[in-house]
Structure 1
Amino acid sequence: MRFIAFTNDHGQPALGARIGDELVDLTALGLPASLDELLRQGEAGMQAARDAIASATTRSPIAGLQYLPPVLNPAKAFAIGLNYIDHAAENNFDPPKHPVVFQRYVSSWVGHESPLQRPKVSTQFDYEAELVAVIGKGGRYIPKEEALDHVAGYSLFNDGSIRDYQLRTNQWTLGKNFDNSGSFGPEFVTADEVPAGASGLQLTCRLNGRVLQDANTRDMIFDVATLVSACSEAMALQPGDIIITGTPSGVGLARKPQVWMKPGDVCEVEIEGLGVLRNAIVDEA
């Protein structure tokens, strides 16, 4: 199944299921208004969604939707740094022996087709194409061999980074969390729609149509199962938590000359089987 979070005609968050170029409004059929709530209902929630899709008599066009991020309010959003060998190398780091984890906050990202905002204090606005794993079943100390059972599905992320702020200290949090600097979407795809662990999917980032990142999710140093297990060692995972799994080489910081996103640009993140996340760039007002 493929779910889209959107703003309905009443200006309220709603959850829909995409069927081709059309949408079944699940919220209008009595289901929760967010994927977060649906995931907390476990398999019963997913079955209710399947039943609602099968019995729906009304669909609406996808065109013109105002997208919201697929998960509206995750309790935790883990972001993983240096998770591709070539990306670690282009930044002069040795490949990490353990996952490099930092946090992104909900205020730092927008949905598909919403503008990314370059802050007034910096011009070093970089792109990072990434796969997102969404937790469907919570747990603590999850063994790696059971970890994929806890993943409900996947989405896309542009981990927009303000590089001069990120690199001022050894802690990256500030430069990774400027308001409206990243994006998440366009939809949530259930795990049964892609290979196990979303491995083997081509991942691309384009800026104004120019391919700047081109890699495959099989090349991650720490795969999805490893990341789920590692994060659960520190804290109990909850349905709706997300893991932003890292970016490959080709980021603007490492290019010669460097490439920064600027107003008027359009950045696209594409992952095979998961869709295209598109955002224009604007300056902070």
Structure 2
Amino acid sequence: MTQPARIAAFHAAGQDRFGVVTDGGIVDLTADFADRFTTLRDVVEAGALAELVAAAEGRAPDFAEGEVRFLIPITNPDKILCVGVNFPDRNAEYKDGSAQPKHMSLFPRFPSSFTGHGQPLIRPPENHTLDYEGEVVIVIGKGGRRIKPEDAYDHIAALTLCNEGTIRDWVRHAKFNVTQGKNWDNSGSIGPWLVPFTDAAQLDDARIVTRVNGEVRQDDVLANMMFPIREEIAYISTFTTLKPGDVIATGTPTGAGARFDPPKYLVPGDVVEIEVAGIGTLMNTIADEVL
């Protein structure tokens, strides 16, 4: 299989940068496009991901991967929206006898609640129920309102991955609101990079696997989603205008730590990997917050 193009946001040599990841390292394109783009959101909005990939061809890397700190690919999105309980086995975990819901569950996350590939997810001192949720993320390339499902894929610029880290006890603080459990600083991650979306099979045939310390915890295919990604885009764009650079985390399979007996919450030293063939592997460690 041909290696897909990989476009990353990263910090190196005292500056936030963007470039193309190659087998030998990262080609820094920040200066090449400084007159046009400041962030990858600018690149997505201009429809210029392929232009970045072409500009990196034949060039030697400027940085080794170990010399950079990966950032979340879209550092300044207008919206980050997450789809909850979107696989049948996840729905069955809720012991209320409910069949597939009529409408999807949605909630927002703040950019500050995510960190980049290779960085630690932070467990806060207030609560130690930090959990993982592996998900495929879509990045909107062409904005729109009331997008039809059959047109939805035309609005996707790129794919990436998400560990939608959650402080479980805090999602139970209110009767019907999970926002406070989903937005602890640096509790989740997005990355490692953007892969341009060029073929429906990148989503339709995708399998997502989550491992904790090498043990497979989540393993499912996106074809099993109760609300497919085409429907997610259509439904979300009914009530809000999607903009280039908007991020949608599409839902996680069963197997999160909270569902074990006893629960298997994340602890410092753990290593969590989210993998989808054709996109990559998002890896994070766990660390306690330093006060």
RMSD: 1.5
- Paired residue type of 2:61: R
Q: Distance in 1 between matches of 2:72 and 2:127?
A: 25
1:53 is displaced (CA, Å) by 2.4
- Per mean C-alpha deviation after superposition, the further-off stretch among 270-279 and 60-69 is 60-69
Q: How many residues align?
A: 280
Counterpart for residue 281 of structure 2: 276
Partners of 1:79 and 1:246 within 8 A in 2: yes
Q: Distance in 1 between matches of 2:252 and 2:278?
A: 18
Partners of 2:12 and 2:67 within 8 A in 1: no
- Partner residue of 2:17 out of 14, 18, 26: 14
* Structure-2-length-normalised TM-score: 0.92
**Pair 1:14–1:256, CA change in 2 (3 A):** same
Residue aligned with 2:152, SS: helix
1:98 is displaced (CA, Å) by 1.1
Counterpart for residue 60 of structure 2: 58
- Partner residue of 1:249 out of 236, 249, 254: 254
Counterpart for residue 175 of structure 1: 181
Q: Distance in 2 between matches of 1:225 and 1:112?
A: 27
Runs (4 or more) in structure 1 with deviation over 4 Å come to none
- Per mean C-alpha deviation after superposition, the further-off stretch among 32-41 and 112-121 is 32-41
Residue aligned with 1:232, SS: helix
Residue aligned with 1:29, SS: coil
- Per mean C-alpha deviation after superposition, the further-off stretch among 126-135 and 28-37 is 28-37
1:50 is displaced (CA, Å) by 4.0
- Partner residue of 1:96 out of 101, 117, 126: 101
Partners of 1:197 and 1:225 within 8 A in 2: no
- Partner residue of 2:170 out of 165, 172, 175: 165
- Residue 190 of structure 2 is aligned to residue 188 of structure 1: no
* Structure-1-length-normalised TM-score: 0.93
Instruction: Output aligned runs, 1:1-285, within 5 Å.
Output: 1-9=5-13, 11-31=14-34, 32-42=37-47, 45-54=48-57, 57-60=59-62, 61-92=64-95, 94=98, 95-169=100-174, 170-192=176-198, 195-196=200-201, 198-285=203-290
Partners of 1:15 and 1:26 within 8 A in 2: yes
Q: Distance in 2 between matches of 1:62 and 1:118?
A: 25
1:28 is displaced (CA, Å) by 2.4
Gaps of 5+ in 1: none
1:49 is displaced (CA, Å) by 1.9
Partners of 1:197 and 1:223 within 8 A in 2: no
**Pair 1:108–1:198, CA change in 2 (3 A):** same
Calculate percent identity across the aligned residue pairs.
39
Q: Distance in 2 between matches of 1:204 and 1:46?
A: 26
Partners of 2:123 and 2:288 within 8 A in 1: yes
1:92 is displaced (CA, Å) by 2.5
Partners of 1:132 and 1:244 within 8 A in 2: yes
Q: Distance in 2 between matches of 1:219 and 1:69?
A: 27
Q: Distance in 2 between matches of 1:277 and 1:46?
A: 20
Partners of 1:155 and 1:189 within 8 A in 2: yes
Gaps of 5+ in 2: none
